[in-house]
A and B are shown apart, each in its own frame.
Chain A
């Protein structure tokens, strides 16, 4: 049960966490019921842990399906590599975000956390050069993005300025509120 930075080990750990949380919630609910609570009250009292168990179950499911789908997808080697990196990043990101759970319920030990952090950073480094390529692959039409920040041509500042010109306030150099409110106000304070 030594921790390894592999997808098999990670998937197993996600399921260990899910099982651990399901078990903890079930035991705590049982204890409450044995202590004299009605099943409904025991359920309500345990509901924070129940939601956490459910979330852990689903996260394990998503991680497994992501890794499984990527490994079975028939694509070129360069794309396969990127997809694998994405799946690993997803798994390691959520693992590190919930490392307390993994330290409690899986065979991850505190000494393994540094290695996981390094793995995450290495994945970010590997994926960095392909970040624009990956989002380009989503192939989203500029009219659908509808954002000066995200247009294909990257004319961010020009487009932001063009958008600002659509503000109705910019249709005239002086707004009537100046004459109606500000001018009298300013004079009254002179």
Chain B
């Protein structure tokens, strides 16, 4: 071990294992995590003979599919499978260690299965979830279009009900209506949950989810009327197999509309659901997970940069003196230490909002919707800040590594690729901040009229008339 690192470790004033246990949530959790890491990382099937960056785009995809299939096979064989294992493999650090530049099967588990569970009827769940879980089919979630992303009401894909055949007809009326971005859509998935504007009895009822077969289950050839492919190379996440999808009058059975909430009857009558809080719950969960992932990726980046800064010696601080560790330079500390602090800030905030989510969820069960807007507002801005802070901090610590941080092998460029993508997906950051702002503006009016405010905005009552003393 490098002697500078030995000295650093000897000089540490606290028990590092105690902090590890605190961050993991206890000693047992640490052991569980380490067992899981050993189980996956010791498998030679996950080792790359040649680093992925030296392979062609096509070879990278093929390797990733091989690894992803092996990963999920191993997961199913694991003696103590749990959701935590899934989380670690799909978005967490362990998954990104095996598939550095994205997992082409991730959407099957992250979006396809949860959507079937959250939006399908009991019968639909029984049929589709068992097929998806047994990997008879591979799915993805196709919502975003070439011309519309975060503003989902603007989606153009149509699903028009034809009562004579009891089918929906899916169509992409324009090029901008083509689905664009879904992971695994290009060449991996053979089914998708497709979000489209529902038309029945001559009326549009807004966006609804439909299960659509994209490829033949045997030959994997695209189904008639399905125009499908990969969108091309990106800044990062190049093995996620993000795809495009167009529909030319594609017919699907009425039963393929996910009808847990809203329904279309055989004659075309539309029946609206009284509540859509389940959809809301999934959204909240995803945002908390994103904040946790940002903390994980940033912890990786700061570990790389801090250890390097302890090993690296450079320049002369005092004439004639030996080259000091770069960690001794104040500017280096200013790059690294606030970035390390951000890891904790993100982790603790995510934990807090998760607890708040559970409280609000139990209030919802009793019909109390009062704190729902507050929770939504906090989760929107927290996702935005965690992702943008993480992206900035990864870049700052990459610069802290000088030229070596620019090497792909430093793993900082691909970490940046993973983190900066999160600024855009699951709600573009500026749009999310404006959603929080809308809530703040309403709350501001309430504060001005003297109403009692919910805890996270109670400060507006305290400081609404506050002025700086001059």
Contacts and interface: CB of A to CB of B under 8 A. Distances in A.
A189 interface: no
B409 A147 contact: yes
Interface string B41-58: 100000000110010000
B307 A23 contact: no
B58 to A, nearest CB: 16
Interface string A63-79: 10110011001011011
A30 B343 CA distance: 38
Contacts of B311: 154, 156
A19 B459 contact: yes
A86 B437 CA distance: 29
B337 A127 contact: yes
Interface string B425-454: 000001001101100110111000000000
Interface in B170-224: none
B336 interface: yes
A19 B340 contact: no
B14 A130 contact: yes
Nearest to B306: A135
Contacts of A60: 459
A63 to B, nearest CB: 8
Contacts of A47: 434, 437
Contacts of A9: none
B441 A25 contact: yes
Interface in B1-48: 1-2, 4-5, 8-9, 11-20, 22-24, 30, 37, 41
Interface stretch (B64-72, B131-139, B325-333): B325-333
Interface string A140-165: 11011111111111111000100110
Nearest to A78: B14
Interface in A28-70: 29, 47, 50-51, 53-55, 57-63, 65-66, 69-70
Contacts of B337: 89, 123-124, 127-128, 131
B405 interface: yes
B248 interface: no
B410 A58 contact: no
B327 A131 contact: yes
B466 A83 contact: no
A154 B307 contact: yes
A64 B343 CA distance: 15
Contact of A144 (B2, B93, B436): B93
A41 B464 CA distance: 25
Interface residues of B toward A: which range?
Answer: 35 or more
B428 to A, nearest CB: 12
B450 to A, nearest CB: 15
A51 to B, nearest CB: 5
A133 B7 CA distance: 11
B50 A166 contact: yes
A143 B421 CA distance: 23
A75 B18 contact: yes
Interface residues of A, number: 83
A150 B14 contact: no
A125 B374 CA distance: 39
B9 A166 contact: no
A105 to B, nearest CB: 7
Given A121-B330, A152-B1, A51 B382 contact: no
A11 B408 CA distance: 40
A148 B328 contact: no
Contacts of A166: 50-51, 54
Nearest to B37: A141
B148 to A, nearest CB: 18
Nearest to B54: A168
Contacts of A124: 330, 333-334, 337
B378 to A, nearest CB: 7
Indicate the member of A65, A123, A129, A152 with the most B CB atoms within 10 Å.
A65
Contact of A58 (B13, B382, B411): B382
B299 A147 contact: no
Contacts of B22: 73, 75, 79
A116 interface: no
B349 A61 contact: yes
B436 A66 contact: no
Indicate the member of A55, A61, A62, A150 with the most B CB atoms within 10 Å.
A150
Interface in A160-181: 160, 163-164, 166-168
Given A58-B381, A62-B349, A147-B409, 17 more contacts: A19-B462, A55-B433, A57-B381, A65-B352, A81-B13, A82-B19, A86-B344, A90-B341, A130-B14, A134-B340, A136-B12, A139-B20, A140-B300, A145-B304, A145-B411, A154-B310, A156-B308
15 contacts: A15-B462, A19-B460, A22-B443, A47-B437, A50-B433, A51-B430, A57-B440, A133-B13, A138-B23, A138-B299, A139-B24, A146-B411, A147-B411, A148-B410, A156-B312
Interface of A: 1, 15-16, 18-20, 22-23, 25-26, 29, 47, 50-51, 53-55, 57-63, 65-66, 69-70, 73, 75-76, 78-79, 81-83, 86-87, 89-90, 93, 104-107, 121, 123-124, 127-141, 143-156, 160, 163-164, 166-168
Give 5 closest A-B pairs by Cβ, nearest first. Answer: A154-B2, A150-B304, A133-B12, A19-B463, A137-B19
